[in-house]
Amino acid sequence: MARLYAGHRGMDQNARGEFMLSPARELFPCYNNQSYYLGGFLPMTLTFAHYERCIDTVRARHPDMPQQAVVLMRLAHHVFRALHEQLDGFFAAHDLSTSAWAVLIMIYSMPDRTITPSEVSAAVVQSRTHMTRVADDLVAAGLIERASDSSDRRRVVLRLTAQGVARIEQLLPLTWTAYTAALAAFSADETAQLETLLRRWLAHLEQRPTSGDPQR
């Protein structure tokens, strides 16, 4: 896969104005391999080792850089991305997306197995537009249906169909196995400690106001 770096000033052209292949590391010294880009295209997925070399390069220029904090921020990003990619692959094998599964399991967790589109959007932290597309796909697949709210006929709710309930209950054991496998690198004690640390980190971040001032 590739990412477009359109119009990058480092792209080479020959006498006829055609873009030439150039070693990627000429543009990005921390990208230390023999990969090439064409017309500004670069590999989308870089390993953590590549970014760590970039971090080392920056630290050489700024010795006061808090290297561990920078490394941990990048590690968190890579862990999330790797986990997301694995779960994407798992759900794709079952003809679902991670967003679709999030919607299904959110509705399934409701006492009456119904939920409003706005509640789904807020719960899974996705835009209303994206959630509408996901809901459309799930309706087309026969897994959910749109209905009027019994307490307010003007309001639309999303409701699981019998087929949707059966699909969820079929996938739940497989999903739990996938989640457990993703944590197989840790012992039971380490997993418990990881949960404690992540909960503490999340609570800390949620208490911090989102502003441009890192000291606030």
Cβ pair 97, 105 in contact under 8 A: no
Give the torsion through C-alpha atoms of 57, 63, 66, 67, to 10 deg: 30
Query: What is the average per-residue pLDDT within 55-75?
Result: 87
Hey, what CATH class is 96-183 in?
A: mainly alpha
| pLDDT tier at 114, thresholds 50, 70, 90 | confident
Residue 138's φ and ψ, nearest 5 degrees, are -70, -35
* Cα(119)–Cα(128) distance, integer angstroms: 10
21 and 14 in contact (C-beta within 8 Å)?
no
Q: According to DSSP H, which parts of the chain are helical? A: 24-27, 48-61, 67-92, 98-108, 117-124, 128-140, 162-182, 188-207
Q: What percent of the chain has pLDDT over 70?
A: 74
- Render pLDDT for 23-46 as a digit per residue (tens, 0 to 9): 444 444 454 444 444 444 444 566
Higher pLDDT: 2 or 213? It is: 213
Average the pLDDT over each of 20-24, 95-99, 119-123 and give the range with the smallest value. 20-24
Residue 211, pLDDT score: 66
Greater confidence (76 vs 118) lies with 76
Residue pLDDT, tens place only, 136-156: 999 999 999 988 776 666 778
Q: Average pLDDT in the 153-173 region?
A: 91
The least confident of 17-31, 51-65, 186-200 is 17-31
d(Cα 216, Cα 104) in Å, to the nearest integer? 38
Give me the pLDDT at residue 203, please.
Answer: 95
Mean pLDDT, to the nearest integer, of 176-201?
Answer: 97
Residue 110 has pLDDT above 60, yes or no: yes
- Banded model confidence at residue 65, pLDDT cuts 50, 70, 90: confident
**Threshold 0.85, pTM exceeds:** no
Q: Please say whether the dihedral angle defined by the alpha carbons of residues 193, 196, 202 and 203, taken in this order, is positive or negative.
A: negative
Q: Phi, psi (5° rounding) for residue 115?
A: -160, 155
Band of the pLDDT at 56, cuts 50, 70, 90?
confident
**Interstrand relation of 22-23 and 36-37 (parallel, antiparallel or unpaired):** antiparallel
3-state SS, residue 88: helix
Q: Write the CA distances from 163 to 8, 107, 139, 145, 175, integer angstroms.
A: 50, 13, 11, 11, 18
Mean local confidence (pLDDT), 105-131: 82
The reported pLDDT for the residue numbered 131 is: 79
What is d(CA 166, CA 78) in angstroms, rounded to the nearest whole number? 34
Band of pLDDT at residue 8, cut at 50, 70 and 90: very low
Degrees, nearest 5: CA angle 82-106-208: 65
Delimit the domains of the chain by residue range.
2-65, 96-183
- Give φ, ψ of 23 to 5 degrees: -60, 130
Mean pLDDT across 8-24: 43
